[in-house]
Amino acid sequence: MNKPHFCDARRRSLTLALTASVACLAPSLAWAGYPERPIRIVVPFAPGGGTDLVARSMSVPMGQDLGQSVIIDNRPGGATIIGTDAVAKSAPDGYTLVMATLAHVVNPSIQSKLPYVYEKAFTPVMLVGVSPNVLVVNAKSPFKTVQDIINAAKASPGKLSFASQGAGTSAHLAGELFKNLSNTHILHIPYRGAGPALTDLMGGQVDMMFATASAVGNLVESGKLRAIAVTTETRSKARNLANVPTIAESGVPGYVADSWYGLFAPAGTPKDVITRLNAAANKAVQAESFKKQLENEGLVIKGGLPQDFDAYAKREEIRWRKVVKDNNITAD
């Protein structure tokens, strides 16, 4: 009579163990078919700028690796907050990402209130690349050197203007840092994306812009814009910027203001999905089509693991928080 009781107990024990094992595997099994539909990358800028170009250049090779279309969704406005917030509030299922820039880590320092909790809203996927900003002027501008701009700005404080793709963006902060270190007063004109800003620059409505190299590479090469200087510590290796001096060597010692691009997903996205997206993104930035479109425009391709990007973003947040505080930079 005891034997059946022993067997029943053993069966129950085995059943519990099997159930526990299946439960542990459930997350992986649930995402084994990922992705099953198109993936959306939100670009928090208008079409035509550097961020848009980077995202679109990645979308095709990334989609080929994932076996699904990667769609670019431009959501400009609010110093990137509108598009970024849309991703923060999206389902953490790997189907919505944001192509972030420097503004992503700067907004917490310059915005009095954000609609999301920056530290808890996102999980990193991959750092795509780092790029210089380029101080550019209209091809017909009288300014040919950094010193020309400094002299004009000091002669007529507040008369010159510089455009940016929005408050808190790399172009804005690069300009504010330039003003501070060169002791000049130049009016900041924010736009809803690099495309509209560059249009007005070429039209003569603004005097200059600290634009991303990926956004202005072709415009410089075609002669529509003149590159005055790059914002990096050393000169760019890009073909069309190789002879362009740095701002630091042009009379503003200590000046450095890089730009970067990276993918984030909503917090809570399954680790297996992040791993899959990271692998696809790493392959995409090594695709010949991506390199051809962007390496000659100043982008230094990075790639790497999610934790690498997490550490990089945290360092950038700390670095620019100090610049924002020291220079009293606000979103207004």
pLDDT tens, position by position, 7-37: 555 555 555 555 555 444 444 545 578 999 9
**Structural domain contains residue 9:** no
**17 vs 20: CA distance, rounded Å:** 5
pLDDT for residue 167: 78
280 and 194 part of one domain: no
**Structural domain contains residue 23:** no
pLDDT for residue 29: 47
Q: Using the CB atoms, write b or e for 198-230: b if 16+ within 10 Å.
A: bebbbeeebbbbbbbbbbbbebbbeebbbbbbb
199 and 51 part of one domain: no
State whether the Cα torsion 151-152-153-157 is positive or negative.
Answer: positive
pLDDT for residue 11: 58
Say how many CA atoms lie within 13 Å of 148 toward its Cβ. 12
**Structural domain contains residue 222:** yes
Residue at a domain's end among 257, 283, 313 = 257
Percent of the chain whose predicted confidence (pLDDT) is above 90: 66
243 and 147 part of one domain: yes
Secondary structure letter of residue 98 according to DSSP: E
291 and 188 part of one domain: no
pLDDT for residue 324: 87
**206 vs 160: CA distance, rounded Å:** 8
106 and 174 part of one domain: no
What's the domain count of the chain? 2
245 and 152 part of one domain: yes
pLDDT for residue 34: 97
pLDDT for residue 6: 47
pLDDT for residue 9: 55
80 and 170 part of one domain: no
State whether the Cα torsion 181-205-297-320 is positive or negative.
Answer: positive
84 and 168 part of one domain: no
**Structural domain contains residue 29:** no
Q: Which two tokens stand for residue 320?
A: 């620019």
Contact call for residues 45 and 51 (beta carbons, < 8 A): yes
**Structural domain contains residue 30:** no
Residue at a domain's end among 257, 290, 316 = 257
- Owning domain of residue 308: 39-131+259-326
pLDDT for residue 26: 46
142 and 62 part of one domain: no
**Structural domain contains residue 2:** no
**Contacts (Cβ under 8 Å, ≥6 apart) of 152:** 143, 159, 160
Residue at a domain's end among 210, 226, 257 = 257
**Structural domain contains residue 247:** yes
Say how many C-beta atoms besides its own lie within 10 A of residue 296's C-beta: 18
Q: Which CA distances in Å does 128 have to 30, 125, 264, 274?
A: 28, 9, 11, 15
**Structural domain contains residue 15:** no
pLDDT for residue 1: 46
**329 vs 175: CA distance, rounded Å:** 11
Contact call for residues 97 and 165 (beta carbons, < 8 A): no
Q: Mean pLDDT for each consecutive 10-residue tract of the chain (332 residues)?
A: 52 54 48 89 91 95 98 92 97 98 92 92 97 94 98 97 87 91 94 91 97 86 95 85 94 91 98 98 96 79 97 93 81 68
